[in-house]
Structure 1
Amino acid sequence: MVGVAAMEMNEVWKTFLSNPVPFCGGFLSGLLRLDVKQDPLRSWLESQGLRVEEPPPSGRSNGPQSISIE
C-alpha cells in the first residue's frame, strides 16, 4: 500500500513541476471552491483561450428519472 501512495504522490509532483502555474491555479480554485461557470474565474479562463461549456437545458437531464408502472 505504501508503494501505491508513493507512486500517486510522484505523479502529483511530476504534474506540479511540469506545469507549476496552472497546477497552483487549479489547486487554489479548488480550495476556494470557485465555480468555473461564474466570474471572475470564467472570464479569466476565456481570456486564456479556454471555453467554458454551458450545462444542458434543465428541461431534460441525462441522469436518473422516475417512472411509474401500473
Structure 2
Amino acid sequence: METNDVWKEFLSHPVPFCGGLLSGLLGLDIKQDPLRSWLESQGLMMEDKSSSGEGPKSISIE
C-alpha cells in the first residue's frame, strides 16, 4: 500500500521528487554547496531557525 503513496507523490511533483531522491542517493546535504547555493538562487532555501542561538532548552520535571 505504501508503494501507491510513493507513486502518487512522484506523479504530483516529479521534479522535486527526483531531485530529493537523487540528492539522497548521492548523500548531498542541503546546508552545503553546491546544493545550498542552487536552492538559494531558486528562492527555495528556508531560513534556519536553529542558527539564532535558540537551541534546545533543558527542563526539570519533579
What is the TM-score of this pair, normalised by structure 1? 0.66
Greater C-alpha Rg: 1
User: In proportion to residue count, which structure has more helix?
Assistant: 2
Structure 1: state its 5+ residue gaps: 1-5, 66-70
Corresponding residue of 2:31:
37
Post-superposition Cα deviations, 1:19-57, rounded to whole Å, max 9, x if no partner, equal 111100000001111010110000111111112433635
Partners of 1:24 and 1:56 in 2: CA distance: 27
Equivalence for 2:9: 15
Larger relative contact order (Cα-Cα within 8 Å, sequence gap ≥ 6) = 1
1:47 aligns with 2:41: yes
Which deviates more from structure 2 when the two are superposed, residues 15-24 or residues 43-52? Answer: 43-52
Count of residue pairs the alignment pairs up: 59
Residue matched to 1:27: 21
Could you list the runs of 4 or more consecutive aligned residues of structure 1 that deviate by over 4 angstroms after TM superposition? none
Picking from 62, 66, 69, the partner of 2:56 is 62
User: How many Å apart are 1:61 and its aligned residue?
Assistant: 3.7
Q: Scaled by the length of structure 2, what TM-score is found?
A: 0.73
